[in-house]
Amino acid sequence: MDFGVDDDDEVYTSEADEADVGTFTAEKTRSDYEVDFRVLDAHDIRTMQHDRARQVADILGISTEHSAILLRYFKWNKEELIERYMDGPETVLQKAGVITDDSTAPRVMPAPAGFCCDICCDDEPGLESLALRCAHRFCRSCYEDYLRKKVVNDGESRRIQCPATHCSVIVDERTVERLVPAAVYTRYQMLLTRTFVDDSPQLRWCPAPSCEYVVKCDVPQAALRTVVPTVQCRCGTTFCHGCGLEDHLPCICELVKLWLRKCADDSETSNWIQANTKECIKCHSTIEKNGGCNHMTCRKCHHEFCWVCLGPWSEHGTNWYNCNRFDESSSKDARDSQARSRQQLERYLHYYNRYANHDQSARLDKELHTRTEKKMEEMQRTSSLSWIEVQFLRVAVDKLYECRMTLKWTYAFAYYLTRDNQTALFEDNQRDLEMAVEALSELLEKPIDPTHIKELKQDVLNKTSYVAKRRETLLEDTARGLMEERWKYQVTL
């Protein structure tokens, strides 16, 4: 998926940026489901603002301070600003609150004779004062206090207007810097940075708590029906740049929103389906799931079954595996409205059950990290493997979690797909990944046999590699289907 990078971006691309985790180079062959993106810090964002303001200033023949005010008025849409300005510069300047007369540039100076500040009513001779190009003059102390309250108390930065009543002239950045203390100006710049990111569709804050990085991705909103723009911040957080939610490959943003809304609406059903216990289908003993693996063994009767579909586990590693598919044949008997409603509920529960199960399993697999640490220490004690050599367990757990999250969203995607040959192929890939994930999950939860550590390592490495390949196959095929518009949905987007 190739979306071009603006010419503006060349200004703030550095060698450090090229080495960043989010920048793809020619050395990496990008998959169909991957997109170009760049991770930026506060300095990069300020550089972007200054460069864009300088470019517009050069084109329109105005100062950088004025071009910045105009850009903020147009939410940094450079093309729209230039087009509107060329059609009627006076109208644009007036609406944006800009006066370009340099002869009346704002500067701190002694108040003229007969001056009285309209805010504090101080008329002391020689009082320091300042007026914007609108000529509304106030004493420096009142102006500073006004700006401080706007920045610190109101969190305002984009469009701080002249203190005079009904005056729409905007205080420029240089004037703010001249009047307020350094700490207030720092906050002012931070607020400007935040508004710049919020106004720029190519930029999005990393959703991780306390993370201050921004990710730039040039996938337009119009392309979100054919692309899932998954990005990774420098802090390691992976998320969707299109909607800001967690990584939901391979499901597109619109379907994710529909699915989450449906799950929220069917809250009672969700509460029921999320129950942590089920009964053994053979002896009816209550069983609680305490791990990510779906291979259940009843401690009472030793019956082995699948937690998801409650079917015999013996069928889940063979061609008889059919746990991921919904049986559409039952809909043929749904002749009246009540039967159709029941059949629709059963269909929803089929997909939600598997969606919620993989979500729960992913959380449990994440907790597997703690147990894995102990296994790694045990392997070091009972074998000749070093700490580096036992890292394959951590890699396997990370890959298992990643694949669980992918499988989780495949069920949300499959719920909205129209039944056809393409859907059958998707479910084949889904089934293959699910079988591989369950095999790896079961292997990782087994206790370590000190006499077979080398065999265990090779088995884990092989299954981790296979799981990664199955995930790649599923995501590649789904991404190509999105680009080729092969997928047909049961809802209108």
Tokens of 74: 């147009």
**Phi, psi dihedral angles at 390 (to 5 degrees):** -95, 5
Residue 269 exposed, middle or buried by CB count within 10 Å (0-12, 13-18, 19+): middle
DSSP conformation letters of 425-454: HHHHHHHHHHHHHHHHHHHHTSPP-GGGHH
Identity of the amino acid at 368: L
Q: In angstroms, what CA-CA distances link 408 with 261, 325, 352?
A: 16, 14, 9
User: Cα angle at 344 between 342 and 347, to 5 degrees?
Assistant: 110
What residues have CB less than 8 Å from 185, skipping those under 6 apart?
176, 177
Q: Do the bridges between strand 128-131 and strand 137-139 make them parallel or antiparallel, or are there none, so unpaired? A: antiparallel
Closest CA to 368 of 297, 293, 269, 309: 293
Which residues share a beta bridge with 238? 232
Between CA 248 and CA 25 the distance in angstroms is 24
Q: In angstroms, what CA-CA distances link 284 with 115, 288, 357?
A: 91, 12, 21
Tokens of 309: 């579909």
Closest CA to 362 of 398, 397, 404, 403: 404
Note the helical H segments in 295-420: 337-382, 392-416
**Phi, psi dihedral angles at 347 (to 5 degrees):** -65, -45
Which residue bears the tokens 């704002």?
106
Residue 174 exposed, middle or buried by CB count within 10 Å (0-12, 13-18, 19+): middle
Evaluate the CA torsion angle 281, 283, 285, 288 in order and state its sign.
negative
**Phi, psi dihedral angles at 443 (to 5 degrees):** -65, -40
From 217, 240, 293, 403, active-site residue = 293
Between CA 48 and CA 59 the distance in angstroms is 17
Between CA 26 and CA 45 the distance in angstroms is 25
Q: In angstroms, what CA-CA distances link 35 with 217, 227, 306?
A: 8, 9, 37
For residue 403, indicate whether it is catalytic: no
Q: Looking at residue 420, what DSSP letter applies?
A: S
Which residues share a beta bridge with 324? none
Which residues carry out catalysis? Answer: 293
